[in-house]
Chain A
Amino acid sequence: MLSQFIHDPIQLTAAQALVAGGLALIMMVIAAWYGIHLEKEIVIALLRGLVQIVAVGSVLLLIFDGPIALGFLILAGMMLLAAKTAEKRAGDLPGAFRVAFWGIFIGAGSVIILMVLAGVIDTKLTALIPIGSMIVANSMNSVGLALDRFESEIKSHVGHIETALALGAEPKTAVRPYTQAAIKAGLIPRIDSLRSLGIVWIPGVMTGMLLGGSQPLQAALYQFVIMAVILTISGLASLVSALLMAGQIFTPADQLALGRGDS
């Protein structure tokens, strides 16, 4: 309907963005009516998201033919910001930024490099940056989920962990069930996404390729490639961050340094 009134493609997309943002605000009002007050967070997230993505679009326009090193530099910057975001999900966990960064760097970074070397991701910055950022964002989500779960598991099992320590267990053994739960928490949403791929949803890459005129079969297969990569990086990122964090919450004398106060 909008396209009947607006013919300039940039103006048309801006109008579509306005409609999408308006819908999010309606959802916010409904949530507030139900007592869920996230108005500030939603408005800030919408504005941040808009500014950031427009900025990235502008940057891509400028560096269209830039060297691949520039692409990696930009992705490294994204990883730092992603670690900062994932850190917020970690609650009281100590050293969460460092742990989140290594989780994202090892999970996403190693896979991006491998995929570039294997030729699965094009070295053109217009392909490397959007696909790389998608991989970084997914590893960020997985790390955030894993750390969030790890913190709640530790806090609700302090007695069991200290009992294990008091029986002579090493810290990594004492927290193993909770580390495993955290890794699963980071991985399960990706498994579910892969399971429902094509049946419940057709994700962005395929949609974009179809809109760009690609063959449906080619678009579908490439979407599977991306989803399989996301599953891999989510597993790696959750594993690295949960294992690193498991080592962070104990003192050198194998005492649990989280989740209890003296009384």
Chain B
Amino acid sequence: MISMRESSSPPPKLRTENLTRVVSEKVIVDGVTMDVLTGEVMMVVGPSGSGKSSLLRLINRLDEPTAGTVYLDGRDYRELPPLELRRRVGMMMQMAYLFPGTVADNIRFGPRQRGVELPDETIERLLARVGLAGFSDRDVARLSGGEAQRVALARVLANEPEVILLDEPTSALDQDAKDAVENLLQEIIREECLTCIWVTHDLQQAARMADRVGVMEAGRLIRTGTPEEALHA
């Protein structure tokens, strides 16, 4: 169990405390404690099956921790209604999982859940932000993999999240699309000052994108630090 910040550091935006998940007596995530500051990009790396994605699912409360909890702005996330938590902590998955319909339908989805109908101009602005200006009425079935992931990003941004969780968002893309989406994510995360936890198996990507890196192995967070410290230990 590694605490990632000294006590004198500013309060974290998000803190996981002894976060643990056990399924059928198998420990999937094992006592992960970490702090992530506002606007910080925390890359989580580790081999397949090390618990990286499961950690993100716990933070978004798509799964229930067996032990431990998460604090968002110092508040235990179990005190928040799950729907509010998930609005504030957006998540982008490895696949886009777009809903059938148009690009605009997908972008409207999140805000609509809390009774907000996004105007066309906002949708156009979000689409322009992810490099898809004019795609509003496009059927999602006609999008390429890279375009679909951009729509998925715009859909998350439409909810105006404070924290964004990225679960290998470029791993299913070809090299060109991967580079483009990675650059776009970097740009948006910095400009919007989003707090970000990004899971990847690509160590070079982690080195390029990270403020800090956490290394997971067998469900445990075994090492953290700057990219140099964590990746070359």
Spell out A's residues near B (CB within 8 Å): 159-160, 162-170, 173, 177, 251, 253-256, 261-263
Contact = CB atoms under 8 A, between A and B. Distances in A.
Contact of B62 (A160, A168, A255, A261): A255
A38 to B, nearest CB: 32
Nearest to B63: A255
Contact of B86 (A160, A168, A256, A261): A168
A160 B82 CA distance: 17
A163 B23 contact: no
A168 B110 contact: yes
Interface string B90-102: 1101010101100
Given A168-B114, A169-B83, A253-B78, 20 more contacts: A159-B93, A159-B97, A162-B97, A164-B99, A166-B60, A166-B86, A167-B159, A168-B83, A168-B110, A168-B159, A169-B109, A169-B113, A253-B61, A253-B64, A254-B82, A255-B82, A261-B23, A262-B21, A262-B26, A262-B63
Contact of B91 (A166, A169, A255, A263): A166
Given A160-B97, A261-B23, A167 B64 contact: no
B82 A253 contact: yes
A132 B19 CA distance: 55
Given A164-B99, A170-B113, A263 B159 contact: no
Contacts of B23: 261-262
A162 B109 contact: no
Contacts of A253: 61, 64, 78, 82
B62 A167 contact: no
B93 A167 contact: no
Nearest to A160: B97
B155 interface: yes
15 contacts: A159-B93, A160-B99, A164-B99, A164-B109, A166-B91, A167-B109, A168-B86, A168-B87, A253-B61, A254-B83, A262-B23, A262-B63, A263-B28, A263-B49, A263-B53
Given A159-B95, A254-B82, A167 B156 contact: yes
Nearest to A170: B83
B169 to A, nearest CB: 12
B3 interface: no
Interface in B104-133: 109-110, 113-114
Contacts of B82: 165, 253-255
A159 B62 CA distance: 11
B54 interface: yes
A159 B63 CA distance: 14
A159 to B, nearest CB: 4
A166 B49 contact: no
A254 B64 CA distance: 10
Nearest to B49: A263
Sort A-B residue pairs by CB-CB distance and give the 8 closest, nearest first.
Answer: A163-B97, A167-B110, A168-B87, A166-B91, A254-B82, A159-B97, A262-B28, A168-B113
Contacts of A177: 100
A173 B60 contact: no
Contacts of A173: 113
Contacts of A255: 61-64, 82
A169 B84 CA distance: 10
Interface in B62-94: 62-64, 78, 82-84, 86-87, 90-91, 93
A167 B61 contact: no
A194 B145 CA distance: 44
A173 B64 CA distance: 21
Most buried by B among A163, A166, A255, A256: A166
A172 to B, nearest CB: 11
A154 to B, nearest CB: 14
